[in-house]
Amino acid sequence: MTGTETPLGGGNMSSGVVRVGDTVRRPAGPWTPAVHGLLAHLHEAGFRGAPRPLGIDERGREILTFIPGTPAWPGQFHLLDDDARLRRAARLIRDFHDAVVAFAPPPGARWQALTPADGDEIIAHHDLGPWNLIIGDRQWAFIDWDTAAPGTRLWDLAYAMHGFAPLSANPAYQRDDAGRRLRLIADAYGLTERQRLDIVPMLARRTQAMHAFLAGQAAQGNQPWTRLWQEGHGTAWQADTSYITQRTDHWHQALLG
């Protein structure tokens, strides 16, 4: 017996995720051993911004430590209005990227690579959005590491900038200070001038990659992507791509001006 199970909601991929005591149980996949190797490395490297892997339970589900706190998105995004908190989120991403550099994937590692990456500099998270940031009283952590796979720092950060600024075509989420927040994230992360130049065009390419991925999965009828496509996620990613592209000069000025 594993104890009382409490379903955990939120996000788009939370089906079958439950809390049992101080642990989380999630459906495992072919990528789970590699992801657990990654999380174990991060813990051993002193990075506390991710859950720790605890193995597999008797039902074949992965076991992770439960991170107490509040998901930043959608209902608590105001918690990141404060500049100091936004900087903290950006520094957490930088700390992860620095900690993962020394990670050597286990032989035969399999990853759930959802979108084509622009390189294999690191094992990236690929979903560093406020929807995966848990804000606790003492600990902040990113969850949902199932889509970790080879990638680059900037590809990971471009996705995060989209979510944390945010760079959204939806009037409900648009902010007049999106450019300033973009600069704040870049400064807190520690981007060089060269990296700032490189990441500006990547902002639109990263959102376009999500639209292309959802379109391809929906065309094949694969779930849960088909459901997300039907719910309008593909349209939203495409609209965000247009919004970002039309304001390229603004993002460039914000990051380098």
Question: Cβ distance 143 to 80 under 8 Å?
Answer: no
- Residue entry with tokens 């990263």: 206
CB distance 159 to 132 below 8 Å: no
12 has pLDDT over 60: no
Token pair, residue 135, equals 């804000």
- Indicate if 108 and 146 belong to the same structural domain: yes
pLDDT digits (tens, 9 = 90+) for 103-118: 999 889 999 888 888 8
Question: Distance (Å, rounded) from C-alpha 257 to C-alpha 255?
Answer: 6
CA distance 85 to 185: 10
Mean pLDDT, residues 27-32: 95
Structural domain boundaries enclosing 103: 70-256
**Which tens digits make up the pLDDT trace of 57-78?**
999 999 999 999 999 998 899 9
Amino acid at 203: L
Domain identity same for 96 and 18: no
Q: What is the pTM of this model?
A: 0.94
The model's confidence at residue 163, banded by pLDDT at 50, 70 and 90, is very high
Does 86 lie in the same domain as 25? no
Please check whether residue 1 lies inside any domain of the structure.
no
- CB-based contact 164:86 (threshold 8 Å): yes
Q: List the beta bridge partners of residue 7.
A: 18
pLDDT exceeds cutoff 80 at 3: no
For residues 44 and 167, state if they share a domain. no
Average pLDDT over residues 5-25: 79
Find tokens 């720790």 and name the residue. 52
Distances (CA, A) of 58 to 14, 27, 32, 33, 63: 20, 12, 15, 16, 10
The pLDDT mean for the chain works out to 93
Whether 83 and 208 share a structural domain: yes
Residues 137 and 230 in one domain: yes
At 87, the amino acid letter reads R
